[in-house]
């Protein structure tokens, strides 16, 4: 049975529908998909992210420890900055894709809730293997809570919430601010995915912070949004997700995430395996698909070319702005050219499209 998040009663009283994510009952929608999708495309939405994991890494050797593990250069990060990166196994397979924030005194990892325990266990193994006894890895998921304000108008809500004199944060920049008596770490999202701000506060302050967000939200027309609309935006932007496009048998390079892998680093887990893979042609690559179907085909459906199985569908969602099904899937790299005609599950017509095409502006259906 799914566990309730701290804000469950608020969500239920606002007619949220729930789905299970990482063992928690998480709001999937408060309104129609078209309504919430339009909010995220054109306005600003507010969402509960407490089901995600937050892992704190501190101690004298914290920076060196993370430098040995993740795919970006931690030593090159400035304080109060966040970057997206990957934890990989020795084969280059993805253990988790995370947002890594560097504070003056510690690091904070924003992880997928489904990967929380696996990542904690793996980090403990690496800590023992590498002999980093001067590092503390702390699961802060239940003491530090997270919500987000998302969409092209999110800066207006941010300024309303913290006053117009609040610092203008750059993408990936963080700052400690106050809402009433609560201290809040605010991080402006990086250019990966949906624009907006993540807000992290202590568990005891979450209720008050959420209510103040809702008060400010009403003045700027912001609305709560659930996971359904967020998933559509994710797929349209071609952002891979753990459990769908990413797993321990998939490298960041195969998932089209090479920009988050720094091969100038002399060491990180999986580097050797990924370096070797760059010298040979990938057998598969992640592509965006437009599918001619009334309903999204199930994940895992085979992708066919001239009757031959060349890949599998990982995700498919209805896109209100395009009035069609948009999906992501791995296909044979030789066939991964935009415009290539395919079949999904031997029934649905599909074609490979540029990711930019799935993101282009369009008129929302009325």
Those residues whose C-beta lies under 8 Å from the C-beta of residue 266, and which sit 6 or more positions away, are none
* CATH number for domain 281-355, candidates 3.40.50.720, 2.40.30.110, 3.40.50.9100, 1.10.8.60: 2.40.30.110
> What are the extents of the domains in the chain?
3-52+142-233, 53-139, 281-355
DSSP letter for each residue of 199-262: EEEEGGGHHHHHHHHHHHHHHHT-EE--HHHHHHHHHHTT---BTTTB-TT--TTTTT-GGG--
Q: What confidence score (pLDDT) does residue 282 get?
A: 59
pLDDT digits (tens, 9 = 90+) for 32-52: 999 999 999 999 999 999 999
In the sheet that 3-4 helps form, which strands lie side by side, from edge to edge? 3-4, 24-29, 17-21
Asked whether the whole model's pTM tops 0.85, one would answer yes
The token pair at 281 is: 């042609």
Question: Please, what are the averages of pLDDT over each run of 10 residues along the chain (366 residues)?
Answer: 96 98 97 96 97 98 97 96 97 97 97 96 96 96 97 95 88 95 94 88 98 96 97 94 95 93 94 77 82 93 93 95 92 87 85 65 38
Q: What is the b/e burial string over 64-89, where b = at least 16 CB atoms within 10 angstroms of the residue's CB?
A: ebbbbbbbbebeebeebbbbbbbbbe
Three-state SS for 275?
helix
* Cα dihedral sign, 349-351-356-357: negative
Gyration radius (Cα) of the chain, Å: 21
Q: What confidence score (pLDDT) does residue 338 get?
A: 87
Q: What confidence score (pLDDT) does residue 362 get?
A: 42
CATH class (in words) of the domain with range 53-139:
alpha beta
Q: What confidence score (pLDDT) does residue 279 get?
A: 46
Q: What confidence score (pLDDT) does residue 348 get?
A: 75
| Domain 3-52+142-233, second-level architecture | 2-Layer Sandwich (3.30)
């Amino acid at each position: 049975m799914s566990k309730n998040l701290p804000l469950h009663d608020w969500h239920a009283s606002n007619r949220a529908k729930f789905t299970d994510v990482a063992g928690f009952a998480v709001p999937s929608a408060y309104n129609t998909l078209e309504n919430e999708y339009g909010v995220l495309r054109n306005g600003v939405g507010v969402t509960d992210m407490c089901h995600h994991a937050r892992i704190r890494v501190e101690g004298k050797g914290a920076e060196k420890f993370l430098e040995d593990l993740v795919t970006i250069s931690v030593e090159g990060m400035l304080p109060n900055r966040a970057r997206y990166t990957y934890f990989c196994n020795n084969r280059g397979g993805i253990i988790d894709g995370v947002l890594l924030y560097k504070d003056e005194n510690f690091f904070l990892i924003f992880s997928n809730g489904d990967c929380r325990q696996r990542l904690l266990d793996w980090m403990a193994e690496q800590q023992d293997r590498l002999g980093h006894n001067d590092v503390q890895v702390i699961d802060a998921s239940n003491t530090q809570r997270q919500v987000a304000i998302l969409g092209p108008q999110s800066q207006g809500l941010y300024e309303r919430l913290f006053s117009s004199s609040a610092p203008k944060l750059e993408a990936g920049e963080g700052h400690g601010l106050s809402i009433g008596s609560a201290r809040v770490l605010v991080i402006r999202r990086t250019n990966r995915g949906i624009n907006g701000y993540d807000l992290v506060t202590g568990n005891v302050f979450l209720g008050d912070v959420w209510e103040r967000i809702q008060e400010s939200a009403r003045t700027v027309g912001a609305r709560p949004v659930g996971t359904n609309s967020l998933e559509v935006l994710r797929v349209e932007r071609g952002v891979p997700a753990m459990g769908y496009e990413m797993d321990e048998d998939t490298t960041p390079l195969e998932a089209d995430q090479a920009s988050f892998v720094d091969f100038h680093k002399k060491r990180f887990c999986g580097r050797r395996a990924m370096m070797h893979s760059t010298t040979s042609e990938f057998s598969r690559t992640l592509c965006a698909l437009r599918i001619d179907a009334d309903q999204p085909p199930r994940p895992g459906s085979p992708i066919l070319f001239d009757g031959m199985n060349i890949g599998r569908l990982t995700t498919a969602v209805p896109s209100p702005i395009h009035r069609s099904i948009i999906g992501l899937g791995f296909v044979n790299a030789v066939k991964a050219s935009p415009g290539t005609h395919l079949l999904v599950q031997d029934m649905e017509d599909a074609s490979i499209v540029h990711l930019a095409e799935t993101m282009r502006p369009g008129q929302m259906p009325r």
